[in-house]
């Protein structure tokens, strides 16, 4: 009998890939999403890949009664919890909205999980929970790094939810796989699922692609006086295909209590280096303009992935060059 997994907030760029991955791996997925910043049309892309539409319910997680009705219909083995608003700049302008959406949503979900005795959860966290004031120059961040001192409300919600899940593992017997993402890029190999924001993108790669396609006039580079190789901030970029594989490995290696794993590549690249690398690969000029600093940006964040390698037997395999080439192929589809 197939194990049944509840996935929250499935229609976003990353999360829809998980639906496909788990369905292709032989699991049954049930999806809940209130579509507040996504589209039900994502179902069509999923159907083109796996030839059917998974079970979907338009549910706001704060509506506990409706969520309970979904739990009554299925015998869930796991919950994979992605739900939450995620635009950093928006969270700075609307912090209370982010606390309400990301934290209250999650609490209602956890309450229903407790009521129905569904105690296994994979939580979509972020490397941004690490205390950036303790970063040392060119230091790869591992899971033992200090967390706290977040620089914007979105990142704070991730930190708070991690603390809640730690307590639920201690006092309510939840089994938690807490996965801290670094910077996901690219799209599904079918090109039916992708990151193609309608408005100005929040992430670097779709922004670069839209400038290369002349959908946007220029890329804004937020200052060049950081203490890095060229003054722009540096990040660790992981292909979404590798990120998917990390979740499957986490699911297959469930253990008791609360366990955290970094999912990243362990290699860094600056904004200007990313622009130059993309130009060399796609043979296009990327126009950019240096803008003033944003108060929430960090100079450098990159991953020590040794724990995931040693325990989950997981390692990122897709090169950055390949991710860039595949992104460009999608935008020229």
Torsion angle of the four alpha carbons 201, 109, 23, 266, in this order, in degrees rounded to the nearest 10: 50
Report CA Rg, the chain: 19
Strands 120-126 and 175-181: parallel
CA distance 146 to 148: 7
Residue 183: closest CA among 124, 261, 265, 251 = 265
One of 13, 98, 130, 154 is an active-site residue; which one? 154
Q: Which residues pair with 303 in a beta bridge?
A: 141
Which tokens go with 4?
A: 């049944």
Torsion angle of the four alpha carbons 58, 61, 65, 66, in this order, in degrees rounded to the nearest 10: 10
Residues 6+ apart with CB under 8 A from 78: 3, 5, 6, 118, 120, 121, 122, 251
> Is residue 154 annotated as a catalytic residue, yes or no?
yes
CA distance 125 to 136: 22
Catalytic residue positions, numbered: 154
């Amino acid at each position: 009998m197939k194990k049944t997994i509840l996935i929250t907030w499935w229609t976003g760029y990353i999360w829809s890939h998980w639906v496909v991955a788990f369905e292709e791996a032989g699991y049954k997925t049930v999806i809940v999403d209130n579509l507040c910043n996504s589209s039900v049309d994502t179902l069509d892309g999923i159907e083109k890949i796996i030839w059917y539409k998974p079970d979907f319910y338009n549910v706001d997680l704060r509506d506990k009664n409706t969520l309970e009705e979904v739990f009554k219909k299925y015998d869930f083995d796991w919950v994979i919890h992605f739900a939450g608003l995620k635009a950093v700049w928006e969270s700075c302008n609307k912090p209370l909205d982010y606390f309400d959406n990301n934290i209250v949503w999650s609490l209602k979900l956890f309450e229903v999980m407790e009521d129905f005795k569904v105690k296994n959860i994979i939580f979509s966290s972020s490397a941004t929970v690490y205390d950036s004031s303790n970063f040392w120059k060119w230091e790869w961040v591992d899971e033992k790094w200090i967390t706290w001192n977040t620089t914007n409300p979105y990142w704070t919600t991730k930190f708070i939810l991690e603390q809640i899940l730690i307590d639920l593992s201690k006092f309510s017997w939840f089994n938690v796989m807490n996965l801290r993402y670094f910077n996901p890029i690219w799209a599904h190999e079918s090109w039916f699922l992708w990151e193609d924001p309608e408005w100005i993108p929040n992430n670097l790669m779709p922004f670069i692609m839209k400038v290369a396609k002349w959908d946007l006039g220029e890329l804004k580079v937020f200052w060049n006086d950081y203490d890095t190789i060229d003054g722009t901030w540096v990040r660790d970029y992981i292909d979404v295909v590798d990120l998917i594989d990390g979740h499957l490995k986490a699911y297959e290696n469930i253990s008791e209590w609360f366990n955290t794993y970094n999912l990243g590549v362990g290699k860094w690249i600056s904004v200007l280096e990313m622009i130059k690398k993309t130009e060399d690969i796609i043979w296009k000029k990327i126009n950019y303009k240096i803008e003033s600093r944003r108060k929430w940006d960090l100079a450098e964040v990159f991953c020590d992935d040794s724990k995931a390698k040693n325990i989950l037997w997981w390692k990122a395999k897709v090169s950055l060059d390949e991710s860039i080439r595949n992104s460009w192929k999608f935008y020229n589809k």
